Amino acid sequence: MRILFIPCQHSHSAWLFNALEESVHSLQRAEDLPDGILLAAQEVFDAVVATALDPQSHGALITGLSALATAAGPAAVVTILGQSAPAERVRILHAGAAACFCLPLSFIELHERLHALHRSGKAQLVKSQVAQHGLRLDLLSHVLIAGEERVAVTRRECLLLECLIRHFNSPVPRDQLIRYAWPDAEYVEPSNVNLAVARLRQKVELRLPRVHIETIKRYGYQLTTSRVATRFTQPSLACTT
């Protein structure tokens, strides 16, 4: 899941970021709320997690939530507050948040709520298309499953696969794949991307010969269960006498 994370100056905020990252989510960290609004308008995310763990910062979050929800579009905005009264959490929800948590926080509940909010029509359609081909990606155990076959992958490879699966049978631009699988990197060498995809392709096709990661020349990659045509038939010229 691609998540925009808006932190605050609180140790629990840093812990939450690390916990989401370790749960094999692709995270983009904003500097603050205004920066988060800007990033949400520039890229499509599955969810936005905004933290305001000091009571003094709740007002600023409420003020900016409407703009954040508008910029985020279909992405659900989930807020994490410090200790707060029910009336304050209701104000957060009225301002545009899809869910509001407060400390003490159950990370398992937050994690499951994010997945529940992500079960949109589009996400379910992609899952349905992938399921028709017998594919499933287990994010907890880092395993690609097809029928009885299992392919163990690394965390990075898991992010690569998740991004490709989300666009199953459609080309994914290289820069989009980089943002998803290397979310904290300012720059990634093209050779590193090529090597990572080549290793993943070798793993997958060794155990799942009908599943392919195709290279789309000068564009990116595509996950498919049928080869992408790489040759074009030149039309024949009819001869008349």
What residues form DSSP beta bridges with 143?
A: 138, 152
State if pTM tops 0.85.
no
Q: Is the pLDDT score of 203 beyond 50?
A: yes
Query: Domains of the chain by range and CATH?
Result: 2-118 (3.40.50.2300), 124-224 (1.10.10.10)
DSSP character string of 45-83: -SEEEEEE-SGGGHHHHHHHHHHHHHHHTTSEEEEEESS
Q: Is the pLDDT score of 125 beyond 50?
A: no
What pLDDT, in 10s, does the model give residues 130-162?
565 678 888 778 889 888 889 999 989 999 998
Q: Is the pLDDT score of 228 beyond 50?
A: no
Number of other residues whose CB lies within 10 A of the CB of residue 19: 14
What pLDDT, in 10s, does the model give residues 80-103?
999 888 999 999 999 999 999 998
